[in-house]
Amino acid sequence: MASDLNPRRSRTPRKEKRAELRPTWSWLAIPLLVIGAVFGLWWGLYSPSESSTEPTPTPTPTRMQRPRPSPTPTMAVLFDTPTVAPTATATVMAGIGTGQTVRVSASDGLNLRAAAGSNQDLVKTMPDGTILAIVSGPVEADGHTWWQVRDSEGSVGWCAEEWLELSLP
């Protein structure tokens, strides 16, 4: 009789308890809910976007009319004028000289030296396109023609002529 009074003990068998906890309809509903959730996530991630389904409007071509030429009044030719044949003219290329401005034409830059010569001390390297003023020269050294130049910062040094080109002042 003591076992009848104990609330822990139940007379219902275990299998019947499990059946009471999960009704029979849940065996169908839970897998359907899981499948629906997976499909909803897949659709949200991989569905085509709305912007790609909208057609892009294209402008309608319109026909433009060209203006028709209007008649131009012409003057009567009163007399014939002779045509002068062109003559060849000599073009004089001016060389670099004192007082002129030149531009550095060396993609890697041009070394400004303390004196005329490739082995002289380096003052600085002038970038391509730098405008320089010719101070004096020319001096022949190391197989090059050297000109003394001044840059816009006031630095003075010697540059080889091969990498200088005339520039407008």
H, E, C per residue of 44-56: HHHCCCHHHHCCC
In the sheet with 131-141, reading across from the earlier edge strand, the strands are 122-126, 110-113, 156-160, 144-150, 131-141, 101-104, 164-166
Which of 91, 159, 93 has the alpha carbon at shortest distance from 131? 159
User: Is 40 within the bounds of a domain?
Assistant: yes
The pLDDT of residue 91 is 46
Q: Residue 59 contacts by C-beta under 8 Å, 6 or more apart in sequence?
A: none
Q: Determine the pLDDT at residue 10.
A: 54
Q: How far apart are CA 85 and CA 94, in angstroms?
A: 28
Q: Which domain holds residue 112?
A: 101-166
Q: For position 26, what pLDDT does the model report?
A: 79
Domain membership of residue 112 (yes or no) is: yes
Q: Give me the amino acid identity at 146.
A: W
Within a domain: 32: yes
Residue 110: inside a domain: yes
Residue 37 lies in a domain: yes
Q: Would 89 be classed as within a structural domain? A: no
pLDDT along the chain (169 residues), means of 10: 54 58 77 91 77 69 75 65 65 70 89 90 90 89 91 91 82
Per the structure, the count of domains in the chain is 2
Please give the angle made by the CA atoms of 145, 148 and 152, to the nearest 5 degrees: 135
Residue 65 domain-assigned (yes or no)? no
In a domain, 81, yes or no: no
CATH number of 162's domain: 2.30.30.40
